[in-house]
Amino acid sequence: MSRASTAGYAAEAEALARQYESVTFEEVHAPLVHLLPPPGRALDIGAGSGRDAAALAARGFAVIAVEPTAELRAEGARLHAGSAITWLDDSLPDLPVLAARAERFDLILLTAVVMHLDAGERARAMARIAAHLSPGGRVFMSLRHGPVPAGRRMFDVSGEETEALAHAHGLATLHRATRSDMFARPGVSWTLLAFTPA
């Protein structure tokens, strides 16, 4: 989710927002919802249209939504104007704006984000994520597998690699699940992972 990683998203912001909003937080994260911590501080990295951030705010979380694409950030702020969400213009792998705030979170959410980062960026991102996680907090990640859409920057990132990287940064796996694509895109599948401090 470095600036290069979000290529192609700005021009399609409205259409992407409609797609993201056509499914619910509970549907997208069904295998992990039972692992949600009690309401506290949540960080949604790559928040897109704000669907998940708004759902977490409705559950009582204080939410910071990080989205580097200005057009998506604007759509999210418009669609969820009534939600208690703080929007930040920031990006992985280093999250410089957030890092300066030195905050920790009970839940960190990365939905369809990690596959936009190359191997070096993924390692830096995991270190940053671990640094922002509260003791006993949870990290939810979803990894997209399959064909790369035209004009997008994506890498083939496995669940095994992601777990190994998380473990190397002091996180333990709570849950791992796989599922088909909710939009029935040919060849696309997902791995959903939950981590907590080891």
Total tally of structural domains belonging to the chain = 1
In a domain, 151, yes or no: no
Show the domain range for 16.
3-146+159-197
The model's confidence at residue 23, banded by pLDDT at 50, 70 and 90, is: confident
How confident is the model at residue 81, as a pLDDT?
92
In a domain, 192, yes or no: yes
The whole-number pLDDT of residue 55 equals 96
Domain membership of residue 166 (yes or no) is: yes
| For range 125-135, the mean pLDDT | 97
In a domain, 154, yes or no: no
pLDDT at residue 2 is higher than 80: no
In a domain, 37, yes or no: yes
Question: What mean pLDDT comes out for the span 50-73?
Answer: 93
Token pair belonging to 15: 């259409």
Residue 28 region, left (φ>0) first, then alpha (ψ -120 to 50), else beta? Answer: alpha
* pTM beyond 0.85: yes
pLDDT for 186 equals 87
| Bridge partners of residue 191, in order along the sequence | 143, 178
CATH of the domain at 37: 3.40.50.150
Does some domain include residue 152? no
175 CA to centre of own chain: 16
Mean pLDDT, rounded, for 93-108: 94
Q: Within a domain: residue 24?
A: yes
What tokens does 138 get? 């949870």
Contact 107, 36 (CB under 8 A): yes
In a domain, 47, yes or no: yes
pLDDT confidence of residue 5: 47
Burial class (CB in 10 A: 0-12, 13-18, 19+), 72: buried
CA distances (Å), 71 to each of 12, 18, 56, 78, in order?
9, 13, 22, 11
Q: Which residue has the higher pLDDT, 13 or 128?
A: 128
